Amino acid sequence: MNVQTVIFNKQELSGDFVLSKLIDINPDLIVLAGFLLKFPEHIIQEFPNKIINIHPALLPKYGGKGMYGNHVHQAVMDNKETETGITIHFVNEHYDEGGIIFQKSVSITDCSCIEDISKKVHQLEQEFFPLIIDQLLSTNSN
């Protein structure tokens, strides 16, 4: 599909390598698909409201450092929630605290394990993340 790719390590992310590549590319949107590292502030400052991520819960619940994947689903189950969902949000200098762009919930009253919850959340992610990305790109191009 002729998508430009840049491979980098953790050190290059925290240094200037990734920032300089992004400045050269000048992207309309930077999409982190479940990115687990804290994104560097110097990149966030250079691209305000252009970096998004997806979280497997309805923020602000179950967000923050260490809250990802099955850790989130286990916490949701342990707290006997009746619903969970996804949150697509802007990335800021704090884990999972950027402005919320979109949320979608799903009932989990029929889920008996975290794998059941995970399947429902993945379905939401696959359905809605591409749509929201398209909407944001359309908005940015106008």
Q: Which residues are catalytic?
A: 55
Q: Note whether 35 and 88 are within 8 A (CB).
A: no
Reduced to 3 states (helix: H, G, I; strand: E, B; else coil), residue 34 is coil
- Nearest alpha carbon to residue 86 among 117, 47, 51, 111: 117
Label the pairing between strands 30-32 and 100-107. unpaired
Length of the chain: 142
Exposure on the CB side of residue 132, measured as CA atoms within 13 A: 25
For helices 69-78 and 114-141, give the axis angle rounded to 10 degrees: 120
How far apart (Å, rounded) are the C-alpha atoms in residues 129 and 117?
Answer: 18
